[in-house]
Amino acid sequence: MSRKYIAFMPVNPRENPADRVDLALAALFENGIVAGDLRDRASLRNGPNYTLLFKDPDPRKQEGGFGCDPGRMTVSVHCGDMKGFSGDNLEPVACIHCNSELPYNAAQDAFWALRDGKPVDDPMMTMECYHCGEGNSALDADWSRSGGFAHVAILFEGETSNRVEPNPAGLALLSQVLGTPVRFVQVHGW
Ligand SMILES: [Zn+2]
């Protein structure tokens, strides 16, 4: 199944600002980044000012407009157990011990482990380096914008290009209301 979405999540995957999610949604709503009925999360869409949070430099044409036009992207929230967000675009990362590139399948296994219900301290969450034999924590790896782990994430899903850019102003707003630095990832399949 191929999904395409962008997600905003704490930089530190161990942070769990679950009690501030409502505040964050309210702030996004007040700024016109999110529209709909806050009491009915299924109704939430990208709002008229969504570009305060992200922009698509290469928007996908759709009938009567673009896929990222206000109202065309669904907004959802993940809140609870730590979850891995990744797609086919997951970037390889370097071993923190010897700087070799870690095997891609070890990285994918770590994301799949959480998806399959394994605990955060499961051995699958440690990526072993084939070169030096040392372990690397998947949680602490730098996946850049291609993936990440989070207890709380705000997701925008729709027909965008694969080159969406976050707006620093929106990241700062979300970081402030969630009480922890927030980063951006874009997940897609081929
Ligand atoms: Zn190594």
Is 0.75 surpassed by the pTM of this model?
Answer: yes
Spatial separation of the C-alpha atoms in residues 27 and 17, rounded to whole Å = 15
Q: With a cut of 70, which residues of the chain have pLDDT below it?
A: 1-2
pLDDT of residue 2: 64
Distance from the alpha carbon of residue 138 to the mean position of ligand 1, in angstroms: 14
SS (H, E, C) the chain: CCCEEEEEEECCCCCCCHHHHHHHHHHHHHCCCEECCCCCHHHCEECCCHHHCEECCCCCEECCEECCCCCCCEEEEEEEEEEEEECCCCCCCECCCCCCECCHHHHHHHHHHHHCCCCCCCHHHEEECCCCCCEEECCCCCCCCCEEEEEEEEEEECCCCCCCEECHHHHHHHHHHHCCCEEEEEEECC
- Ligand 1: distance of its center to the CA of 130 in Å? 7
Domain boundary assignment for the chain: 4-81+145-188, 92-137
d(CA 53, ligand 1 centre) in Å: 37
pLDDT of residue 104: 86
Say how many Å lie between the CA of residue 126 and the centre of ligand 1.
Answer: 12
CA–centroid distance, residue 174 to ligand 1 (Å)? 35
**Predicted pLDDT at 44:** 98
Lookup: tokens for 31: 């700024």
CA separation for the pair 96, 171 (Å, rounded): 27
pLDDT, tens only, 76-105: 999 999 999 999 999 989 999 999 999 888
Q: How far is the centre of ligand 1, averaged over its atoms, from the C-alpha of 133 (Å)? A: 6
Expressed in angstroms and rounded, the spacing between residue 116 Cα and the centre of ligand 1 is 27
49 CA → ligand 1 middle, Å: 45
Model pLDDT, residue 128: 92
- The pLDDT value given to residue 53: 98
Q: What is the pLDDT of residue 189?
A: 86
